[in-house]
Structure 1
Amino acid sequence: MPDQTATGCTGRPLIGATIAELREVMGWSQARLADELAAVTGRPYTRQDISRWECGGRKPRARTLRDIAAALQVPMQMREGLEVHRRTFVTDLAATAIAPVVASDLIRSGFEAALDDDAPDIDQWRATLAAYGTDYMTMGAADIQRRLAGELVLLQRQADRPELWGVAAKLMTLYAKTFPGSDGVKAVSWYRMAAKAADRSQDADIRVWVRGRAAIALGYEGAALPVADQLAAEAMEIDDRPSLGRLNALMGKAHSAAIRGDRRRALALADEGRRVHDRAGSYEQASDYAVPWWRQNVFLSLLLARLGDERGAAAAQEAAAAELPAELPRFATHLEMHRGLMMARAGDQTGGARYARTALDALPPEKHSLTLRMLLDEIQRGPVPA
């Protein structure tokens, strides 16, 4: 008898659909999941047990959910070559988020949040979104990645209204930033998927912000520059009003031009970015969704260091440091590493790399970001030939 899956259930519950989708990503039948669950727990389970949970005939207890999560834990070695060409948000999520990073406690958190179908409403999601904007500024990449994936496991079951797609798009953008843009797969796939989610929000500000945030992230990292340029161009075409999204797009394109050696274009874009910031810059000091004056100067500091403008870079560093909140030491490390890049661009490659390494080592490892590590690689590698 063929397996009955949640897609064939009438009125499938949220928790049952989540179990079915995670099982299907693993390529397991219901009978296989029953066998794996029995192996984890030492208790007998049948295909019928799985079917009842998935279709809502029986609600699994919290302990059972923890056991299911353990059984569904994805072996790392099986996932490096996983194809991510899927047609739906949920399978894209599972293939690119759950597969590489999620252990049983992460999947459990998604299950437990879905218990009793007591899912967060839009106001709760907006509060969660705001909290992540702040947390991203201080947390390390691994911690934020793990937490965000847990939220996305739950949110993907609810994204049925434009406003929830807007929340999803912003969380997906932050999630993309926890992968190095230079790997050519995960970060870029997530940025593109976030842009599609933003389009479903039907909100021009979100559509522009998601694309612009992706562009400055990739441009700052010096990674996937054609994608950075494309997303920035899309952002600027969607809406030409001054906004934080447009500012990010302009600065992303400026960094892309600087890395390619187009000094004139890089400076012209940065000047336009300054004008947009004058009209749309934010007063909020410690959120990834904001660009206060100190953060604009962090963008400029790296840009001018890449262009070899020591005086301009030093001025931007001084302006940024004067207003940088003390609770954001990671960005102080950015500025110090920019000084290392200036030394390298001035001809002292070894000294610049040593200076940057010392600055990074002074920051507690749990506060490191992928962007800082990629910046160190850029300094050690030297300029890319134009």
Structure 2
Amino acid sequence: MLQSLRESAGLTLAGLADRAHYSKAALGHVETGRRRPSHDLLAACDEALGTAPLLATLLALDGEDHVMQRRALLATLASATGVAGVSGAAAVAELIRQGLLDSAGEAEDWGQVVADYSRRLVVDPSPAFGAALLGQIMLAKQQIVDVGPTAERLRAAALLGQLYGLWQGNQDQIPQAHGWYRTAATLADRSGDTPARVFCRARTASRGIFEGYTLGEAAGRARDALAISDRPSLGALEAHSALVHVHALTLDLAAGRRALAGMLDVADRLDDTGPDGPSARTVSFAHYLESRCGTPRSADRMWEQAEPLLRPVPVWWREAQCYYGLSLVRRGEVGAGIAYALEAVTALPVPVRTVSVAVSDLLRVVPRTHRSTDLDELRTHAATTPGPWVALGA
């Protein structure tokens, strides 16, 4: 297990020896089983790997009296480090925490877990976030296997899986993202939870248009989600947002505004919890629609409303800045629009596909005669795969 944790952390034996202040030989003997480790050695390794007190706990569970506990912890460690990589230790700590909750007769608040990760998706779309989210999915799977597939656990697994698909899509891992969307929809169906079923289908439709779905596929999935919706929900909001996408891409401003009215109607009946709530989501689509096919005046008016609401949500804010840049280019302020988008895209700590697609969308309307160093640099941030506008006839 020491070897597994070391390799998950990307350390050589010599590297761990340097951090733990023990000899490479001493650690090598422990890893190969030739020498029983001391508590001090394992405590030093725990500190160096950020896994405290996992290795020391394994040592404390040595002996015939703790065979089952040690076996269970070893299996958990192997699973966590194998699946979640460097986040394995954190995942194991979470499993231990959930074990304590189970022992005390308490249940994990999966609704809050999903809400927290949903918010982090649009605030911190980093590889570390993806690893942490995958670790959380593993925890849900562990509970489903060990305790049983309750509706709550299946719902949580579905929504977390949907979020993981969205994160993979942002990393340009499109086939993998689509696989997670299918899995999420299946789990949501098995949970029997209508809001989860609606959300997984609708969010896939809204994002899928960035990831190779045709306009017909996106609209069809959105309407399917609305057909099973039985009350205002985030899923219904996402279904209407997918239709806004479709109409914005076909430059049908009137139909887009009707779909946006559907979003507004749903948003007005939902609680606005946090900066990424229904109001911010709705205004981001209103701004997208007006920037892409509205008038300069309507685009300016929506930007004035959207900018303060979206600023606390970095991914949505930077994407919106790119689309406002597109509106500037459309009205002839080409240099200003390019500079605005370039400032936005370079401010993100990691590339995000939805933002790179927005850059590609802007570049489509830049006059061919325009030349500038800003334009050359902006091109390096554009999506390398076709944008959704290629499906205009589908």
Which interval holds the TM-score relative to the shorter structure? 0.5 to 0.7
Question: Which of the numbers 112, 123, 127 marks the counterpart of 1:142?
Answer: 127
1:379 alignment counterpart: 362
Deviations 1:281-313 (A, max 9, x none): 4321324xx312x33111110122222433222
Compare 232-241 and 108-117 and name the one that shifted more: 108-117
Distance 1:261 1:184, change over 3 A: farther
Establish whether residue 211 from structure 1 lines up as the match of residue 201 from structure 2.
yes
2:116 alignment counterpart: 131
Establish whether residue 254 from structure 1 lines up as the match of residue 244 from structure 2.
yes
Distance 1:66 1:108 in 2: 8
1:266-285 → structure 2 map (5 Å cutoff): 266-278=256-268, 280-285=269-274
Whether contact under 8 Å (1:257, 1:265) holds in the other structure is yes
Whether contact under 8 Å (2:328, 2:336) holds in the other structure is yes
Distance 1:233 1:119, change over 3 A: farther
Whether contact under 8 Å (1:258, 1:307) holds in the other structure is yes
How many residue pairs were aligned?
301
Letter in 1 for 2:181: Y
Distance 1:218 1:315, change over 3 A: farther
Whether contact under 8 Å (2:310, 2:316) holds in the other structure is no
Establish whether residue 357 from structure 1 lines up as the match of residue 357 from structure 2.
no
Distance 1:344 1:40 in 2: 64
1:96-175 → structure 2 map (5 Å cutoff): 98=83, 102-103=84-85, 105-114=86-95, 118=99, 122-159=107-144, 160-175=149-164
Identity %: 23
Distance 1:318 1:364 in 2: 22
Distance 1:232 1:326, change over 3 A: closer
Distance 2:335 2:179 in 1: 35
Distance 1:227 1:334 in 2: 23
Distance 1:346 1:320 in 2: 20
Letter in 1 for 2:109: Q
TM-superposed CA distance for 1:132, in Å, is: 1.8
Distance 1:61 1:212, change over 3 A: closer
Distance 2:327 2:310 in 1: 24
Question: Which of the numbers 176, 179, 202 marks the counterpart of 2:165?
Answer: 176
Distance 1:238 1:40 in 2: 57
Distance 1:330 1:183, change over 3 A: closer
TM-superposed CA distance for 1:325, in Å, is: 6.9
Distance 1:253 1:213, change over 3 A: same
Name the SS for the 1:123 alignment partner: coil
Letter in 1 for 2:318: T
2:179 alignment counterpart: 189
Q: TM-score, normalised by structure 2?
A: 0.64
Distance 1:109 1:195, change over 3 A: same
Whether contact under 8 Å (2:232, 2:270) holds in the other structure is no
Whether contact under 8 Å (2:80, 2:91) holds in the other structure is no
1:232 alignment counterpart: 222
Whether contact under 8 Å (1:141, 1:369) holds in the other structure is no
Distance 2:245 2:79 in 1: 46
Distance 2:287 2:30 in 1: 53
TM-superposed CA distance for 1:117, in Å, is: 8.1
TM-superposed CA distance for 1:365, in Å, is: 0.9
Distance 2:166 2:258 in 1: 26
CA RMSD after TM alignment: 3.5
TM-superposed CA distance for 1:254, in Å, is: 1.7
1:195-344 → structure 2 map (5 Å cutoff): 195-219=185-209, 221=210, 223-225=212-214, 226-239=216-229, 241-278=231-268, 280-287=269-276, 290-292=277-279, 294-322=280-308, 324=309, 327-344=312-329
Distance 1:364 1:268, change over 3 A: closer
2:70 alignment counterpart: 59
Deviations 1:333-386 (A, max 9, x none): 33322211213334566653332011222x3515x6442233223323458464
Whether contact under 8 Å (1:141, 1:370) holds in the other structure is no
Distance 2:91 2:193 in 1: 27
Distance 1:145 1:351 in 2: 35
Distance 1:40 1:338 in 2: 57
| Structure 2 residue runs without a partner (length 5+) | 1-27, 35-66, 366-386
2:58 alignment counterpart: none
Whether contact under 8 Å (2:122, 2:314) holds in the other structure is no
1:92 alignment counterpart: none
TM-superposed CA distance for 1:40, in Å, is: 11
Distance 2:295 2:211 in 1: 18
Distance 2:320 2:69 in 1: 56
Name the SS for the 2:275 alignment partner: coil
Distance 1:136 1:175 in 2: 9
Letter in 1 for 2:287: S
TM-superposed CA distance for 1:270, in Å, is: 2.0
Letter in 1 for 2:286: L
